[in-house]
């Protein structure tokens, strides 16, 4: 899906016009970061870097889009011509999709002529804020499911088309086994799942007839057993398996999932069957955690609405701020909203395979024994690095396994992950009268 450069707040274009008129188009560095993490988030997951790279590398207003800007009667022809010829010619660093990051850390670093760097803000934030929020939500669900399979069932409640495919993509990246969404399956090559809805069962004279018909059409399938009476339906399933129908699993989508799943498991055990149990219906990390604590029997979860909208925290407040220009490091000093000045690099220290602290440093500073987390994706407008979705999946698996155990909680923990400022960065901030040693 093309991201148009017109996905932009008007003020970016008006500021650009003023810079253009006054020849203020020297290189500047802007950084994307999340100042304060939302409730119950001990870590966030980088995501959408592929879309951001794609957007920048293909940045170009179409003639049609320039005509629209002209129709606003706000801009001169030479500025419109300048916009029509504008391509992204700068550098971009980012923490790769799938990697874990913490408050205040630069996640995307853009250095480009000021007008370019300014105009891309809206689309960049639109994609990053949403995708990182969803990847994080997915990671929390995976964490709560303790090894059980999870499938994205969210398209009917996601916020539109783009949201639906990117929910599927980012939840797959953090360990979901797949999605119900065929559009995402096609675009990203993600495995797709799904069998039947209640309306299918209702369209037959009896539940039994529906089961038989579907199991014949799709051998080794999953049957939905909560249209009428779950336990009665489970009996029918057992009977059908005994008659030779090939049924692999049952899904329960409503009712008391703890009690029903336990009873159904017991019935299957007594019958000597190892059918899988798939649970769905208003699930998220909190509900799954509670189900498992209460002893629900589940081999897999279908997770929809609350996942795809990240319903407990439906937005991420990532911001994109000027940190350096031709006059050197810049800073915004509003109360409670200090920006770390200067173009930066992010380092992570590992000990015994665990991440133990991060260090935010100046871009050219080297930190011994630490691993740089910001990788170069674009240099002088040309892409120099490309990540695959499978690569992101692997990266997340590695990152999550190196995350200190207590931070994997789906609730807020007291002992935050340590994020320090390097010596060089502390000195720069001191020049602005700000004494700061660590973010958290």
Residue in 41, 137, 140, 166 binding a second copy, rule: CB under 8 A: 166
Our CB check for a second copy shows the closer of 13 and 277 to be: 13
78: contact with a second copy by CB under 8 A: no
Stretch that binds a second copy, among 115-123, 293-301, 355-363, 416-424 (CB under 8 A): 115-123
Q: State yes or no: residue 414 binds a second copy (CB under 8 A).
A: no
Selected binder of a second copy within 85, 87, 146, 159 (CB under 8 A):
159
> Which residues share a beta bridge with 123?
none
Size of residue set near a second copy by CB under 8 A: 88
In whole angstroms, give the CA distance from residue 172 to residue 336.
36
Query: Does residue 12 belong to the site contacting a second copy (CB under 8 A)?
Result: yes
153 binds a second copy (CB under 8 A): yes
Q: Which residues contact 185 (CB under 8 A, 6 or more apart)?
A: 168, 178, 179, 191, 192
Residue whose entry in the numeric block shows the structure tokens 């303790």:
146
- Cβ-based burial of 417 (10 A; exposed 0-12, middle 13-18, buried ≥19): buried
Rounded distance, CA 235 to CA 237, Å?
Answer: 5
Cβ of residue 389: shortest distance to a second copy, in angstroms?
Answer: 17
- Rule CB under 8 A: choose which of 315, 382, 384, 430 binds a second copy: 315
| 224, 196 contact by CB (below 8 A) | yes
The stretch among 67-75, 340-348, 371-379, 381-389 that binds a second copy (CB under 8 A) is: 67-75
Q: Is 97 in the site for a second copy (CB under 8 A)?
A: no
Contact flag: residue 62 with a second copy (CB under 8 A): no
Residue of 125, 144, 238, 403 interacting with a second copy (CB under 8 A):
125
Interface pick for a second copy out of 36, 78, 81, 213 (rule CB under 8 A): 213
Give bridge partners of residue 33 from the DSSP assignment. Answer: 319
Distance, CA of 154 to CA of 58 (rounded, Å): 30
Choose among 128, 102, 7, 124: nearest CA to 56.
Answer: 124
By the 8 A CB rule, do 162 and 128 touch? no
Q: Does 126 engage in binding with a second copy (CB under 8 A)?
A: yes
Establish if 14 lies at the interface with a second copy (CB under 8 A). Answer: yes
| Smallest distance from a second copy to CB 420, Å | 26
**Contact call for residues 108 and 32 (beta carbons, < 8 A):** yes
Figure out which of the listed residues 41, 236, 306, 343 binds a second copy, where binding follows CB under 8 A. 306
Measured from the CB atom, the residue of 207 and 358 that comes closer to a second copy is 207
User: To 5 degrees, how large is the angle CA 14–CA 19–CA 25?
Assistant: 135
């Amino acid at each position: 899906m093309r991201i148009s450069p017109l996905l932009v707040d008007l003020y970016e274009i008006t500021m650009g016009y003023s810079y253009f008129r006054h020849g203020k188009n020297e290189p500047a560095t802007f950084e994307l970061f999340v100042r304060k993490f939302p409730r119950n988030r001990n870590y966030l997951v980088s995501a959408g870097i592929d879309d951001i790279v794609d957007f920048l590398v293909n940045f170009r207003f179409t003639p049609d889009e320039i005509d629209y800007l002209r129709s606003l009667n706000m801009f001169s022809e030479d500025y419109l011509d300048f916009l029509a010829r504008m391509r992204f010619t700068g550098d971009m660093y980012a923490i790769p999709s799938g990697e874990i990051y913490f408050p205040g850390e630069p996640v995307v670093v853009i250095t480009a002529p000021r007008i370019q760097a300014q105009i891309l803000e809206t689309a960049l934030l639109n994609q990053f804020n949403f995708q990182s929020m969803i990847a994080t939500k997915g990671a929390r669900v995976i964490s709560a499911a303790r090894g059980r399979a999870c499938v994205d069932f969210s398209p009917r409640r996601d916020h539109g088309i783009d949201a639906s495919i990117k929910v599927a993509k980012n939840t797959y990246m953090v360990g979901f086994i797949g999605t119900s969404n065929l559009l995402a399956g096609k675009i990203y090559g993600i495995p797709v799942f799904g069998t039947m809805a209640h309306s299918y069962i209702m369209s037959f004279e009896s539940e039994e007839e529906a089961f038989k018909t579907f199991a014949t059409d799709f051998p080794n399938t999953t049957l939905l057993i909560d249209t009428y009476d779950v336990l009665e339906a489970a009996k029918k399933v057992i009977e059908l398996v005994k008659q030779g129908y090939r049924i692999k699993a049952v899904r329960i989508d409503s009712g008391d999932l703890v009690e029903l799943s336990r009873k159904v498991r017991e019935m299957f055990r007594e019958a000597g069957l190892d059918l899988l149990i798939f649970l769905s219906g208003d699930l998220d990390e909190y509900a799954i955690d509670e189900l498992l604590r209460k002893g629900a029997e589940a081999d897999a979860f279908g997770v929809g609405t609350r996942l795809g909208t990240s319903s407990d925290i439906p937005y991420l407040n990532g911001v994109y701020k000027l940190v350096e220009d031709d006059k050197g490091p810049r800073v915004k000093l509003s109360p409670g909203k200090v920006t770390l000045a200067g173009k930066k690099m992010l380092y992570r220290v590992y000990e015994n395979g665990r991440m133990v602290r991060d260090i935010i440093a100046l871009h050219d500073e080297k930190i011994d024994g630490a691993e740089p987390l910001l990788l170069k994706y674009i240099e002088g407008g040309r892409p120099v690095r490309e990540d695959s979705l499978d690569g992101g999946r692997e990266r997340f698996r590695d990152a999550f396994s190196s995350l200190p155990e207590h931070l994997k909680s789906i609730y807020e923990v007291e002992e935050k992950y340590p994020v320090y400022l390097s010596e060089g960065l502390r000195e720069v901030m001191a020049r602005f009268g700000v004494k700061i040693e660590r973010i958290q």
